[in-house]
Structure 1
Amino acid sequence: MNGDTSYAPRLVRSLHEGMIVLLDRNFAVQALVESITRTGAHVLVRVKEHRRPPVLERFPDGSYLSRLGAVPVRVIDREITVSTSQGRRTGAYRLVTTLTGSHAHPAGELIRPYHERWEVETSYLEIKSTILGGRVLRARTPADVAQEVFATLITYQALRLAMADATTARPGTDPDRASFSIALNTARDLLIQAAGVISTTVDLVGTIGRRVLAGLMPDRRIRTRPRVVTRAISRYNARGIVDRTGYEGTVSIDVLTTRTP
């Protein structure tokens, strides 16, 4: 059975210069990193704790120059502490990036986007539960299934672009606060009413964007527990504790400058 790591190389052809690819530690594979860098894109990946990259040069921000195969990389060791009313949780992580310039890309600026990487999972929820309403695909033939999947993904991407244009138009607005449900329901209303289909002016925000900005969500809650394996249709319990309670909390991230691999 093929897994995520076997499918990932197929996406390399879609990468280009100016992109940065965030990868989980299972994707810290030398061949994959090398193929990504050949496209001109950069990599920010977590590596497992037992990996001990050589220290070639230390930088003032606490990171250090190393190599991953033939690729020059920069290693950032950091410690994340999450504090809530239920206590504190601390963990140490090691990041590797092909952005080797410590002045142009300080370690502190690279830590935050990786820490928010898990939020990509909300896109899967929006496709399965919000757009499809939890139903299975209606198509009955392989060709029709492919067509329905592509149509769903195109719809999702178009709505995401509208949400991104809206939050960009209001400086300082975190894109995470844009509501996908509002964007989807507004688009449905416009299609049903056939309103605003043709316009003589360019409006990047548009009706969808204005409704999204009028109904911004509060800041997204932080993840306080490690990932667990859930089995929604299994008679066996999930492996780990599943706590779906939302907690107010604070996150502190420190770059470890004295840690020696």
Structure 2
Amino acid sequence: METGEQSPRRLADSVSLGVLARWVPRDEIDTAVAVTGKKAKRRDGKLPPHVMVYFTMAMALFADDDYEEVLARLTDALAAWPDCWDTLWEAPGSGGITQARQRLGSEPLRELFSRVAEPVADMLTPGAFLGTWRLVSIDGMEWDLPDSGENAAFFGYAGSGGKRSAFPKVRVVALAECASHAYFAAAIGGVGTGKGSGEQSLARTLWAALDEDMLLIADRNFYSFPDWRQARASGAQLLWRVKAGLRLPVLERLPDGSYLSVLVDPDIGGKRREALVEAARAGADLDPGQAALVRVVEYTVPDRDPGQDGELICLITTIVDLRDGPAATLAEIYHHRWEHETGNDQIKTHLRGPGRVLRSRKPDLVLAELYGYLLTHYALNALICEAATEAQIDPDRVKFTRTVRKVRSRTDDAADFPP
């Protein structure tokens, strides 16, 4: 094996659009298309469903190109394999491509993402685990959409009145593996004031994607007692920041400076609450619908809030045994949450481009376009993580921008494109 400086660079020099398809294989596409009832029909002609799935991913890679240019780049890779592209076909114009996108819709791409996206780091990937727990995080991001009436009605605008956003916006909340930045579950919704439009509401649809081998890191925006309870019911361990006003009675102080506490359903007050706190202090079993034992880690970041004593960070965790994670270790682990911000920057700045509005003027096509971005981002980071793991370096040391640039410049190399 070559050194950590050479091996990832060699992989980045060899990647192509075809290599990306290794992580989104044709057979999975065909299954997703079949499951969602979008099998090819006679009228699909030159652009059957599997071509349009790869086209939607290619749209994410070539955000500066128009539809016809994107399809021209894609056919160079597809034509090398039987049953992917018929060389007798003549690529349609932008109108025909739009019609093919509408026929495909968003459901096959959503199904495909749910089938192929999964954590990609292994135990040898630096920074991927705390003990046996895989580090994952949750966060949200917003995207600007074309200002069409349909997008505005479906997704809404951020803010109101004079502070209303210039464009309709769509919100994406995702679970991501910290080490690889790969999203493995996502929920998409509007930004209006309607039910289900907030980050917490979207997050609630993702708890089922957690697993007992995961440690979920979350910022204070995601905490509520019901959400904590539901996320914990997945079997995953939790490490969440909470707001300073949350009531956290001290049950027992631990040698590393952390302490045991109890979360109580905020709807329970008075003597019932006091009884639950005393039961927790006595080590009694707690009804998870009413209360939950937690460990609290508090520390101050001195460089924040200039002129003050610094910003107090309050973390709560299900890891109650300090031998599984001392306070200092958990404080350090919490800051892996910022890896999610790196992933958001990768997809919004380096794939889409800074300040760029998405292409699609209809809600269903917006959803399809977003899943194209999620699939392409996933495939790129899976490749990067694999290379970094082989070289035994942190995946952050393999430049995402360099990998994207290489993929964009080598779309004629279809050697690894699956049939």
TM-score under structure 1 length normalisation: 0.67
Q: 1:99 aligns to what SS in structure 2?
A: coil
Which structure ranks higher in relative contact order (CA pairs < 8 Å, sequence separation ≥ 6)?
A: 2
Are 1:129 and 2:324 an aligned pair?
A: no
Give the deviation of 1:89 after TM superposition: 7.7
Give the deviation of 1:87 after TM superposition: 10
User: Counterpart of 2:27?
Assistant: none
User: Counterpart of 1:60?
Assistant: 255
Are 1:94 and 2:289 an aligned pair?
A: no
Look up the equivalent residue of 2:353 and give its one-letter code.
Answer: G
In 1: Cα distance, 2:360 partner to 2:253 partner: 56
User: Counterpart of 1:27?
Assistant: 222
Are 1:156 and 2:351 an aligned pair?
A: no
Give the deviation of 1:82 after TM superposition: 4.3
Conserved 8 A contact 1:82-1:88: no
**Cα deviations by residue, 1:201-240 (Å, 9 ceiling, x for unpaired):** xxxxxxxxxxxxxxxxxxxxxxxxxxxxxxxxxxxxxxxx
Conserved 8 A contact 1:44-1:114: yes
In 1: Cα distance, 2:244 partner to 2:363 partner: 43
Give the deviation of 1:170 after TM superposition: 2.5
Distance 1:165 1:87, change over 3 A: farther
Conserved 8 A contact 1:43-1:99: yes
**Cα deviations by residue, 1:18-54 (Å, 9 ceiling, x for unpaired):** 1111111122211000000100011111122222311
Distance 1:26 1:140, change over 3 A: closer
Look up the equivalent residue of 1:161 and give its one-letter code.
Answer: A
In 1: Cα distance, 2:333 partner to 2:412 partner: 38
Q: Give the alignment partner of residue 44 of structure 1, picking from 218, 239, 263.
A: 239
Distance 1:152 1:89, change over 3 A: farther
With 136-145 and 65-74 compared, the bigger mean Cα shift is at: 136-145
In 2: Cα distance, 1:88 partner to 1:193 partner: 57
In 2: Cα distance, 1:6 partner to 1:152 partner: 22
Q: 1:49 aligns to what SS in structure 2?
A: coil
In 1: Cα distance, 2:242 partner to 2:348 partner: 30
In 2: Cα distance, 1:107 partner to 1:178 partner: 30
Q: 1:45 aligns to what SS in structure 2?
A: strand
With 113-122 and 34-43 compared, the bigger mean Cα shift is at: 113-122
Provide the identity percentage: 38
In 2: Cα distance, 1:175 partner to 1:109 partner: 21
Give the deviation of 1:160 after TM superposition: 1.2
Q: 1:53 aligns to what SS in structure 2?
A: coil
User: Counterpart of 1:147?
Assistant: 368
In 1: Cα distance, 2:366 partner to 2:221 partner: 30
Give the deviation of 1:96 after TM superposition: 0.4
Give the deviation of 1:12 after TM superposition: 1.0
Distance 1:89 1:162, change over 3 A: farther
* Structure 2 stretches lacking a partner, 5+ long: 1-192, 265-290
Look up the equivalent residue of 2:360 and give its one-letter code.
Answer: A
What is the aligned length? 195
Look up the equivalent residue of 2:376 and give its one-letter code.
Answer: T
Alignment RMSD (CA, Å): 2.4
In 1: Cα distance, 2:385 partner to 2:237 partner: 22
User: Counterpart of 1:12?
Assistant: 207
In 2: Cα distance, 1:105 partner to 1:113 partner: 9
Q: Give the alignment partner of residue 73 of structure 1, picking from 270, 294, 311.
A: 294
**Cα deviations by residue, 1:138-158 (Å, 9 ceiling, x for unpaired):** 234333222221111000011
Q: Give the alignment partner of residue 107 of structure 1, picking from 327, 333, 343.
A: 327
Give the deviation of 1:195 after TM superposition: 4.0
In 1: Cα distance, 2:243 partner to 2:301 partner: 16
* Structure 1 stretches lacking a partner, 5+ long: 199-261
In 2: Cα distance, 1:55 partner to 1:89 partner: 23
